[in-house]
Amino acid sequence: MSKRTVLITGCSEGGIGAALAVAFHNAGLKVIATARNINKMTNLAALGIETMVLDVLSEESIQDAASKIKKLDILVNNAGAGYNQTTSDLDIAKAKELYDLNVWSAVRMIQVFLPLLLMSESSPTIVNQTSVLSVVGVPWQTAYGSSKAALASITSGLRYELAPFNINVIELKTALIASKFLEKPGVSESILPEKSIYAPAKSVLNPTLHYADLSSKGADPAQYAKEVVGDVLKKNPPKVIWRGEGATQLWLSTMLPERFINGAISKISHLNEVEKLIKQ
C-alpha cells in the first residue's frame, strides 16, 4: 500500500506546523509541508519532507497547490496568526484580516481539497487548528479567541456534514507551546493607542499585549506534535484534541463555573494591575 499522505499549512521553521510535519514524517506518512516562503522550510526539506509554496490567503496559490497533488488522506489546517489588542481599540480592518486567515482560509482549503479526500480509501481526515481560547475568553485576545471560536463552530458543524462520506473531522484545541507564534507581528508588535481608555495602565498593558512573560514558556513543540499525531492516527481518533501547556486544566474548566478560572485569567492578563492603575 502507498503511504498515507498529509498536507499541512503554515509550516515555517520554529512553528507548530513544522513540528507536526516532522512528527507525521516520523510516523511513516508522506508529508507535504507548505508555507508562503519555501526558504523557511529548508530544515524540513533536509529531512526528506516534501515542501511546497502555499499562501492560504491566495485563491491562485491554493488552486496551484491542489493541481500538483494527486492523493490526499489528511488535511491539517494549521496556518494562522494572532492579534492582541483591547476590544475598544481594535483595528477592525486588521481583525477582518485575522478572520480571513484564521477562519475563511481553512474553509477554502477544505472546499478545494475535499475532492481528493473523498477519493481517499485510508481514513480521510480534516484537522483544524483552533485554540483553547475558543472556549475561554481572555482579555486583550478577543479578536484572536473569537476567530478560533468561529473555526471551532464550523469544525463541529462540518463533522456532521461530512459524516455520510466517512471523513473524520478533528478539532485541535492547542494551549501554550514554546513556538515562534508570539513573535508574529499581530502579537509582538501590539501596542496600546495613545488615546485608549486604558492609557493610564500602558506601562503594564503594553508588555502584556505581546505576553513578553510567556515567551520562554510552553510545551515542547516536538513532544506536543508527537502526541497530536498519535491522537490523529488512532483507529477511532478523538473529535477534539486538547494539547499544550495548560490544556488539561482549561478542558476541566469548561465543566466548572466561570469563577473557578477567574483568578488564572486575571493573572495571565495582569488584569488586577491594570485595574489598579486605571482607578488611581
Nearest to 7 by CA among 57, 60, 79, 59: 79
146 within a domain of the structure (yes/no): yes
213 within a domain of the structure (yes/no): no
Pairing of strands 30-35, 74-77: unpaired
Please indicate whether residue 144 is annotated as part of the active site.
yes
Per the residue annotation, which of 144, 198, 211, 224 is the catalytic one? Answer: 144
Q: With 0-12 CB in 10 A as exposed, 13-18 as middle and 19+ as buried, what is 99?
A: middle
Please give the chain's pLDDT, 280 residues, in tens. Answer: 479 999 999 999 999 999 999 999 999 999 999 999 999 999 999 999 999 999 999 999 999 999 999 999 999 999 999 999 999 999 999 999 999 999 999 999 999 999 999 999 999 999 999 999 999 889 999 999 999 999 999 999 999 999 999 999 999 999 999 988 877 776 778 899 999 999 999 999 999 998 766 766 899 999 999 999 999 999 999 999 999 998 888 888 888 787 788 888 899 899 999 999 999 8
149 within a domain of the structure (yes/no): yes
pTM: predicted TM-score of the whole model, two decimal places = 0.94
Domain count, the chain: 1
Per the residue annotation, which of 148, 173, 202, 226 is the catalytic one? Answer: 148
- Tens-place pLDDT, residues 137-160: 899 999 999 999 999 999 999 999
Tell me which amino acid residue 143 is.
A
Rounded Cα distance between 125 and 115, Å, is 12
Count of other CB atoms within 10 angstroms of residue 128? 27
Check which CATH number belongs to the domain holding 28 and give it: 3.40.50.720
Cell 494591575, located at residue = 273
Nearest to 206 by CA among 189, 185, 223: 189
Phi, psi of 95 (to 5 degrees): -65, -40
Please indicate whether residue 160 is annotated as part of the active site.
no
Query: Which range of residues forms the domain containing residue 16?
Result: 5-188+218-256
125 within a domain of the structure (yes/no): yes
262 within a domain of the structure (yes/no): no
The conformation of residue 54, written as its DSSP 8-state character, comes to -
